[in-house]
Amino acid sequence: MRAYLDAIAAGYPTVSPALVYLIGMLAFGALVVFVFILPVAGITSWVERRVWARIQSRIGPNRVGPGGFLQWLADGLKNLLKEDVIPAAVDVPLFRIAPYVVVAGFVAAFVALPFAGSLIIADLNIGILYISAITSLVVIGILMAGWSSNNKWSMLGGIRSATQIICYEIPVGLSIFPVVLLSGTLSMQGIISAQGWAPTSWHMFHSPFLFVSFLLFFVGALAEGNRTPFDLPEADSELVAGFATEYSGMRSLLFFLAEWGNLYVIGVLVSTLFMGGWQVPHFTDNGVVLAVAQFATMFVKAYFWVFVAMWVRATLPRVRVDQFMTLCWKYMVPIGLVNVVGTATMMVVLPQGSIVLRWIMVAMTAAILVQFARRVFFHLRRANYGRLGRISEGAA
Amino acid sequence: MSPLAFYPLAFVCIASAMGVVLSRNPVRSALSLVASLFCLAVFYVFLQAHLVAALQIIVYAGAVMVLFLFVITLLNLESDRGLGEKPVLSAIGFGAGAIVAGGLIAALSRTSLGARAVTLVPTFGTTKVLARQLFGDYLVAFELTSMLLLVAVVGAVVLAKRDGSYEGDEQEAAVPARSEEASH
Amino acid sequence: MSDYIPVLITLLLGVVIVAAMSNLNRLLGPRKMTAIKGEAFECGNEATGPGWGRFSIKFYMVAILFIVFDVEVVFMYPWAVIYRELGVFGFVEMAVFVLVLAVGYAFAWRKGAFEWR
């Protein structure tokens, strides 16, 4: 973003460049927040319900707009018209501040998220570290919401959420190190530039260590985003709505807005760290076309992981508290440490990596995906036969 | 660092630090401390120490504050049962505070607070420069930190896991902790 | 420094979103507060005792372990950035650091600090 604004400032020599920068940043920030983050978070809530419905043989919301597409706006409007109840026993100032902290922490994470080669609000030199720092505001906000509600469910939800987020911070951190080791920078754009558009140049396929890191990161990110199978903090069937139990109207929706938006953040982080981010082949010299292609690439990659998170949520049951503690401390932390040491050793032995190893990794992943697709099609065929009553004919 | 940015920020920082001391409710005190630590991180950003700012938020505003909040819920301190009810304790607290404040004033009166011009290299405060210092000049300190962390782990485990059971706690635990047990 | 102005701007935008939405809600929504609505929600039962109960020491244990390992992770960020410059020397440095902490990790495991009981 910096380069664009400097160019604009050069065109108006009478205006102070600092002012141009400030106004430009305000405009771009508002654009990202209101035109990108809020709609994406809202639409994700609709996509999620449609995806679950399909997986559970239901239809899902399909009434508002084409295919129910405008459901998210209707939901927002409905929540806006609901009564905003503040129960008598809550700690009122903290109860009101909590959504501010959660939403501000979530929105500020987008500052360092790359959208395309030149589209990033600010390419901070501590990029990935900044994101994990600013999202720790969300923990504080959730604890605040849970405690201030003066309700047992909220309190349990808040404490569980904080425990879970801090526990999984360690394996997530450890799974980022192999990537940082390879790219030698913390900046998001720097990490993407260290990879190429072809899968063989993605960090994910650098070595088996990186592939395991990628799995650890995705699982850890789901846990940090309070997503199923790690949705203990807001486990509907046991804790009502966890830390958001006492919230009503728009305030409660804002917590969920942050959760859905966080899914996209997770998607962008996975594709940036492990899948080459916005990298596309240099097929044209037209900067705008290239930027659009990069944006589309990034969005598709990120949204693919959002979809996988929905799929996981519709498939897996919730883990128990002791299970997630065991998974974190006894499996993910040691595996993460082994990954860091393994990658460091490999970089001493093979400083440039091995192209043969990369090809083997890609081929193995492709084989797994093909086998998976074959199974899916097999089951689809069988299910269709069943529905049309052709099984008996086939047998005869 | 321009005064326009410094004074409002310093005001917020000191106001939230006052909130820590003056608030009757321990959770509110802890959350004021978060605000104060966050302001300190912003000061680090102003001083070009970006990495340190991020670490300040991760370690203090994130990790340490979560621990404080857990301890408060563990003890279930009620808002009006502070030190104020025991005059001896509040006198000791006041005395200790006065000694620290006196020491600070004495130290400050001997230092000249005039601005010193410091020229910064453009890469000052970046991760690479800090890393070269840490893993070159201050290597011994870094390795000794690992010993310190080891001691911390051992201490925490020994204190919290005495006899390897929590039996004493379970008897006193209130309803939420029970329902936590009952859920599995 | 100027890279961090957008951070401030987006933090403010986040605050603006929440302020706008929750105030609009207060403006548009009904406001009929009753004593029953003001009670803490406990699945339709009357709430017994305060919501702020005491919590188990297990959570405290997790938090303190987290701090120790978080500090370790934090030290590894600068190390990872300049690892290519440090080479074998960097490997040995971090190996010593991690080895000492692995002792602590093994001790905590043996003592059952990772058991949720």
User: Taking a C-beta distance cutoff of 8 angstroms, is the pair A130, A124 a contact?
Assistant: yes
Q: What's the average model confidence in pLDDT over A156-165?
A: 84
User: Taking a C-beta distance cutoff of 8 angstroms, is the pair A83, A249 a contact?
Assistant: yes
User: Taking a C-beta distance cutoff of 8 angstroms, is the pair A209, A339 a contact?
Assistant: yes
Tell me what pLDDT residue A371 has. 95
Helix, strand, coil distribution of chain A in percent, nearest 5? 75, 0, 25
Q: Where are the domains of chain C?
A: 2-110
Q: What's the average model confidence in pLDDT over A99-120?
A: 87
> What distance lies between CA B74 and its chain's CA centroid?
19
pLDDT at B171 over 50: no
Q: Where are the domains of chain A?
A: 1-77, 82-353
Distance CA A80, CA A71 (A): 14
Chain C residues within an 8 Å CB radius of A134: 7
DSSP structure class, residue A198: S
Tell me the two tokens of residue B151: 């001691």
Residues 41-80 of C with CB under 8 A from A: 41-43, 47, 50-53, 55, 59, 62-63, 65-66, 69-70, 73, 76-77, 80
Distance CA C86, CA A264 (A): 36
Identify the H or E element spanning B157.
Answer: helix B139-160
Q: What's the average model confidence in pLDDT over B18-42?
A: 86
- Compute how many other C-beta atoms are within 10 angstroms of the C-beta atom of residue A317: 7
For B145-162, how does the pLDDT look when each residue is reduced to its tens digit (9 = 90+)? 888 888 888 888 887 766
Which of C4, C5, C8, C18 is the best mutation test for A, with the most CBs of A within 10 A? C18
Distance CA B30, CA B19 (A): 9
pLDDT at B133 over 60: yes
The reply to whether CATH 3.40.50.300 applies to domain C2-110 is no
Distance CA A29, CA C36 (A): 43
- Compute how many other C-beta atoms are within 10 angstroms of the C-beta atom of residue A289: 11
> What distance lies between CA B129 and its chain's CA centroid?
26
Residues 127-156 of B with CB under 8 A from A: 127
pLDDT band at B118 (very low <50, low <70, confident <90, very high): low
Tell me what pLDDT residue B121 has. 67
Chain A residues within an 8 Å CB radius of B180: 156, 321
* Lowest mean pLDDT, pick from A196-200, A272-276, A366-370, C45-49: C45-49
Residues 7-26 of C with CB under 8 A from B: none
Residue A8 burial by Cβ neighbours in a 10 Å radius (0-12, 13-18, 19+):
middle
Region of C31 on the Ramachandran plot (φ > 0 left; ψ -120 to 50 alpha; else beta)? beta
Report the percent of chain A where pLDDT is more than 90: 13
